[in-house]
Amino acid sequence: MTDRVIVIGAGVVGLSVALAAQERGLAVQVIDREGPAAGASTGNAGAFAFTDIFPLASPRIMRQAPKWLLDPLGPLTVPPAYALRIAPWMFRFWRACAPSRVRASTIAQTALMDLSKAALIPALTRDGLTHMLHQDGQLQVYEGQAEFDASLPGWEARAEHGIAFRHLKGDEIAEIQPGLAPRFTHATFTPGWYSIADPRDYTLALAERFRANGGDITIAEATGLADDGVITSNGKLAGRVVVAAGAFSHLLTRTLGHRIPLETERGYNTTLPADAFDLRCQVTFGGHGFVVSRLTSGIRVGGAVELGGLKLPPNFKRAEAMLKKARTFLPGLRTVGGQQWMGFRPSLPDSLPAIGPLPGHPNIICAFGHGHLGLTQSAGTAQIVADLLTGTDPAINLAPFSPARF
């Protein structure tokens, strides 16, 4: 077995892993069928959401889901053409919403968030990218007392974990973010919220740093895994393998007989010109399932979940519906000149990624399934995988993230 490490995937997770492995003295090659920042890493909201310690699979989502599913353009939808195919995944998701499982997932998610936050600044410093990090805060807004009250248990749990925030009403909200519609009577501001200048530019900068360190990024499609390497459209490459291919990762593990229940949350957004609105921080409209973010590339309106797999054509009416709501919620928002996008978020039913060796194949390490949190958890995942590659004990318990848990 060669000492070479082959990372499949040139998104933010794969490139973060590649750089961390390089730092440990390993020879690393990255392969991707399209190249750096071609997938979900280019179109996300740009947030390091370290305060999002609660799994998507939860009783709260199960209470909201029936109402959302009735709206084909709402925060959560399953296209009829995909409903039968996703039924087994939805059953696993429903089981993961049991209170005991939610508690266990929250503990695991919190540990990974803490590690990722601790690893972020050192990684940015190593790569000379600290100038891309912003700390403008995040504002979650609520329509009325009832919606605000429903959020309080979550904030109490965050307070126990030492996360700083402030609850706001009325004019206090306008001091943080002017221009919100008066229907949003309550809000919570998280001042420690990190974001990146632009997720695409950041991922491309990681690729540039990796190449500058002597790394190679090869355009090739991985078609199968082997114990001693990976089979690609350019032939077989020998080495230890890290599978960080996002929403396509389960297709690779399947070649070794492992059917990991990875599904695709298709995310939509529209990026408007930078002067479309005077946005001071990221604003989250939780009751409507989308956010508005300020990036160097413009004002991005996006989010929501469409569980529709990899093959159905995009439904950009979903992006248009979010933009229409955003114009109502931010009355001064100019919605002309935008660019639409759809990308695949790789999601596992318990909302935790798969990080660790593929069962029975110690030379193949999984690093996928981060859902909405790939950027957020990239530095922590990279540290864990680098530990595994060098025989170092990871800083957190990996049992909840084991690919064998399914």
DSSP string, 220-253: --EEEEETTEEEETTEEEESEEEE--GGGHHHHH
Which pLDDT score, from 0 to 100, does residue 72 have?
Answer: 77
57 in Cβ contact with 314 (< 8 Å): no
Give the distance, in angstroms, between the CA of residue 42 and the centroid of all CA atoms in the same chain.
11
Name the residue type at position 286: G
Strands 240-243 and 5-8: parallel
3-state SS class at 343: strand
Q: Which is it for the CA torsion 125, 401, 57, 325, positive or negative?
A: positive
Count of CA atoms in the C-beta half-sphere (13 A) of 30 = 32
3-state SS class at 169: strand
- 1-56+98-131+195-260+348-406: CATH, from 3.40.50.720, 3.90.79.10, 3.50.50.60, 1.10.3720.10: 3.50.50.60
In this structure, what token pair is assigned to residue 20?
């961390």
285 in Cβ contact with 141 (< 8 Å): yes
Partner residues linked to 291 by β-bridges:
284, 302
Q: What is the pLDDT along the chain (406 residues), one digit of tens a residue?
A: 457 999 999 999 999 999 999 999 999 999 999 999 999 999 999 999 999 999 888 877 777 777 777 677 888 899 999 999 999 999 999 999 999 999 999 999 999 999 999 999 999 999 999 999 999 999 999 999 999 999 999 999 999 988 999 999 999 999 999 999 999 999 999 998 999 999 999 999 999 999 999 999 999 999 999 999 999 999 999 999 999 999 999 999 999 999 999 999 999 999 999 999 999 999 999 999 999 999 999 999 999 889 999 999 999 999 999 999 999 999 999 999 999 999 999 999 999 999 999 999 999 999 999 999 999 999 999 999 999 999 999 999 999 999 999 8
Which pLDDT score, from 0 to 100, does residue 1 have?
Answer: 43
pTM for the whole structure: 0.95
Count of CA atoms in the C-beta half-sphere (13 A) of 40 = 31
3-state SS class at 49: coil
Directed axis angle between helix 99-127 and helix 199-212, to 10°?
Answer: 60
* Among 273, 279, 275, 276, CA closest to 178: 279
Give the distance, in angstroms, between the CA of residue 52 and the centroid of all CA atoms in the same chain.
11
